Structure 1
Amino acid sequence: MRMLVCLLIVCGLQSVALAQEPVTAVNAVLDDYHAAAAAGDWPRYFALMSEDAVFLGTDAGERWTKSEFQAYASSRSGWEYTPQTRHINFTPDGNSAWFDEILESASYGTSRGTGVLIRTTAGWKISQYHLTLPIPNALAREITDSIKAYETQ
């Protein structure tokens, strides 16, 4: 009987470890993505993205393919966004993940990153990353009015 209980416990622990593995792997990719950006290590940064990846910036016109974003980043020394919180979810088949994270940066303060990762034979790759600047609801009308006025110039 003890042997059966021990076997069930070991199997249960293995299941928990296997369930944690994709979360750990996705967290590692996202953490490395931010670390590579902060270091301006563009080969490492872009290796973490799928070939058909898209980066959506804070400006409504910023929708970059991977190659377009590589050209943009190549002349820059890097940017630093430090994750504060992150939530990760997976599709039922476990081959895709989506996330949202709150970030802090010296230049922009609080921002939010959201995106999608896909599982490839080379590991998890970022397929889409979207950087946004969250607006407190109390300021939304004032800020959106400013954006509308800017867009009509």
Structure 2
Amino acid sequence: MKPFTLILLAFSLYFSMGAYADSDVRPSQQVNELLDGLHTAASQANLEKYLDSFTANGVFMGTDDWERWTRPVTLDQYVSERFAGGTGWTYVPLERNLIFSENRNTAWFDEIIVSKKWGRFRGAGTVIKLDGQWKIAHYAMSFLVPNEVWENVSELSTEAFTERAKNN
């Protein structure tokens, strides 16, 4: 082979391997940055960054049965009110799992996050790539309950829902 052909082949191989590696790592990095950024924005009461993490019609599911907040109305209003005094909430991710669609434009995640005040939670949801940027389309938060205390927590929860139903 001629030297020019070898150089061209080497460059082609290098850039094709680089593109493969980038397509394999970059979406994971971007989604992790999005989710970490969401938690940082919440802890800093940064309204713009927090809401910008979601799609225009994104949904956040809280831990209570009535907590289903949608953009642009109920989620924006709730977060605006909570951040108004300059105070948000802090959850620190302990672990996160990502699964990507075949075309790598959709990902599903689950994460364990911790609040010093409230304990462990699981966040789970869907992120989508829109115009080259990852956004949260759906985020659901649940309170983690160790199996050893599940029965006690279940009783408390059942009692609270029964009482709530009586008062409504």
Same fold (TM over 0.5): yes
**Pairwise CA RMSD:** 1.9
Aligned to 2:104, the other structure's residue is in SS state: coil
Displacement of 1:17: 2.1
Go from structure 1 to structure 2 and tell me whether the alpha carbon gap of 1:122 and 1:10 turns closer, same or farther (over 3 Å shift).
closer
Which residue in the other structure is 1:17 paired with? 22
Structure 1 CA distance for aligned equivalents of residues 122 and 102 of structure 2: 25
Query: Which deviates the most, 6-15 or 111-120?
Result: 6-15
Which residue in the other structure is 2:162 paired with? 152
Higher Cα Rg, which structure: 2
Which residue in the other structure is 1:68 paired with? 74
Unaligned runs of 5+ in 2: 164-168
Go from structure 1 to structure 2 and tell me whether the alpha carbon gap of 1:10 and 1:51 turns closer, same or farther (over 3 Å shift).
closer
Which of structure 1's runs of 4+ aligned residues deviate more than 2 A?
3-14
Residues 20-59 of structure 1: pairs in structure 2 closer than 5 A: 20-59=25-64
What TM-score do you get using the length of structure 1 for normalisation?
0.91
Structure 1 CA distance for aligned equivalents of residues 128 and 153 of structure 2: 35
What TM-score do you get using the length of structure 2 for normalisation?
0.83
- Residue type matched to 2:104 in 1? G
Unaligned runs of 5+ in 1: none
- Residue type matched to 2:102 in 1? P
Which residue in the other structure is 1:131 paired with? 141
Residues 70-149 of structure 1: pairs in structure 2 closer than 5 A: 70-76=76-82, 77-149=87-159
Aligned residues: 153
- Residue type matched to 1:32 in 2? G
Structure 1 CA distance for aligned equivalents of residues 22 and 113 of structure 2: 28
Displacement of 1:75: 2.1
Identity %: 33
Deviations 1:71-124 (A, max 9, x none): 112122211101111111111121111101111111111111111101101511
